[in-house]
Amino acid sequence: MYRRRIYIAILLTVFLTVMISVQSCDNLFSPKLDETPSVSIITDQMTIDGVFQNFKYAYTFKDTSVYSGLLTDNFLFIYRDYETGFDVTWDKPVEMKTTNGLFQNAQKLEIIWNNIVVQAGDSINVNVKRSFNLTITFNPSNIIRLYGFADMNLFRITPDDKWRIKKWRDESF
């Protein structure tokens, strides 16, 4: 008799717990929709930080459309060719072709923007020198790690326009 009462008490407790849980939710098999406002990871590039955030997005998701929107039409990329001892420069079309090739051939790209070393300018023209780490994974046995500085000239026509990269001098190692 005593065991039967314990058994009934346990069943009653479980039943009440389930009933309370069910009443706190409209339908266990159809939870409510998440109606919290979504936050875009792509910015409007109205801030300098927004440019770097969109740059990271473009590299992470290998998105040439977002990457192209970061650059002015008269964009210049400059890097030092240490074998010849000269600087090499190319324009936006070559940059887009080169970056598209990188995006197509890499399995994974990870860029980490570190400290801003220099930031000087005004409301339409700013020079930003920032350190970065870039990891390019072509396959599990071919991973390249670059680090250095990106010395960028950011430009916009008016203070109400988006910031875009006009010139980028790569100082990576």
Q: Is 11 helix (H, G, I), strand (E, B) or coil?
A: helix
In tens, the pLDDT along 3-52 reads 666 666 676 666 656 555 555 555 666 667 767 766 678 999 999 999 99
pLDDT for 66 equals 98
State which H helix or E strand residue 125 sits in: strand 125-139
pLDDT (tens digit per residue) in 62-102: 999 999 999 999 999 999 999 999 999 999 999 999 999 99
Say how many C-beta atoms besides its own lie within 10 A of residue 50's C-beta: 15
CA torsion through residues 43, 46, 49, 55, sign:
positive
Which pLDDT score, from 0 to 100, does residue 35 have? Answer: 75
* CATH numeric code, 48-172: 3.10.450.50
CB 41 within 8 A of CB 60: no
Q: How confident is the model at residue 173 (pLDDT cuts 50, 70, 90)?
A: confident
SS3 106: coil
Domain boundaries, the chain: 48-172
Mean pLDDT of 145-149: 97
- 125-139 and 142-155 as β-strands: parallel, antiparallel, unpaired? antiparallel
Both tokens assigned to 1: 């008799």
